[in-house]
């Protein structure tokens, strides 16, 4: 009985020491908080009212505002080159648990005429974020390479 008690105590101590880091620390995932910028071409399905405009050159700012372990909170701002107003969309996402440089963001539009809901598939590699986007409800797709905006800008 004493042997069982000490084995149980030893197991408890071992598990306490080996417990994973607190989820709020974001341990093991890239620390990507900040604003990431880039330009891309966006294409539209035939049913989208923008289809007749062809491919449009667009710029975006993806602001990663918070990491909670594998969870990502973000704001996406984008506009067509030459426009002055930004379309703003909020997103929540997660890093992949089996490939911690990969992530997805689910986005919902909150401002502007061209807002849509869609999914970003991203990867963080060599200080660059590469994303592909699909907006199935409106037939929008693009890919972009984003670099971190200098804090001095």
CB 92 within 8 A of CB 73: yes
| Residue 26 or residue 119, greater confidence | 119
* Pair of tokens at residue 141: 């797709």
- pTM score: 0.75
Is the predicted pLDDT of residue 23 greater than 80, yes or no? no
Query: Of all residues in the chain, what percent carry a pLDDT higher than 90?
Result: 54
What backbone phi and psi angles, to 5 degrees, belong to 41? Answer: -100, 135
Segment 85-91 shows an average pLDDT of 91
Reduced to 3 states, what is the DSSP secondary structure of residue 81?
coil
pLDDT at position 115 is 61
> Which candidate, 92, 90, 42, places its Cα nearest to that of 67?
92
Q: What's the CATH number of domain 23-148, 2.40.50.140, 2.40.128.20, 3.40.630.30, 3.40.50.261? A: 2.40.128.20
- The residue ranges of every structural domain in the chain are 23-148
Band of residue 114 on the pLDDT scale cut at 50, 70, 90: low
């Amino acid at each position: 009985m004493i042997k069982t008690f000490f084995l149980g105590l030893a197991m408890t101590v071992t598990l306490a020491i080996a417990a994973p880091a607190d989820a709020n620390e974001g341990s093991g995932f890239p620390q990507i908080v900040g604003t990431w910028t880039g330009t891309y071409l966006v294409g539209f399905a035939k049913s989208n009212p923008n289809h007749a405009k062809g491919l449009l050159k667009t710029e975006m700012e993806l602001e990663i505002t918070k990491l909670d372990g594998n969870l990502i909170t973000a704001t996406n701002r984008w506009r067509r080159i030459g426009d002055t107003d930004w379309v703003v969309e909020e997103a929540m996402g997660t890093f992949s648990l089996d490939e911690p440089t990969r992530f997805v963001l689910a986005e919902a539009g909150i401002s502007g005429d061209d807002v849509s809901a869609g999914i970003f598939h991203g990867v963080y590699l060599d200080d660059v974020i590469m994303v592909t986007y699909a907006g199935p409800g409106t037939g929008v797709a693009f890919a972009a390479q984003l670099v971190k905006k200098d804090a001095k800008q």
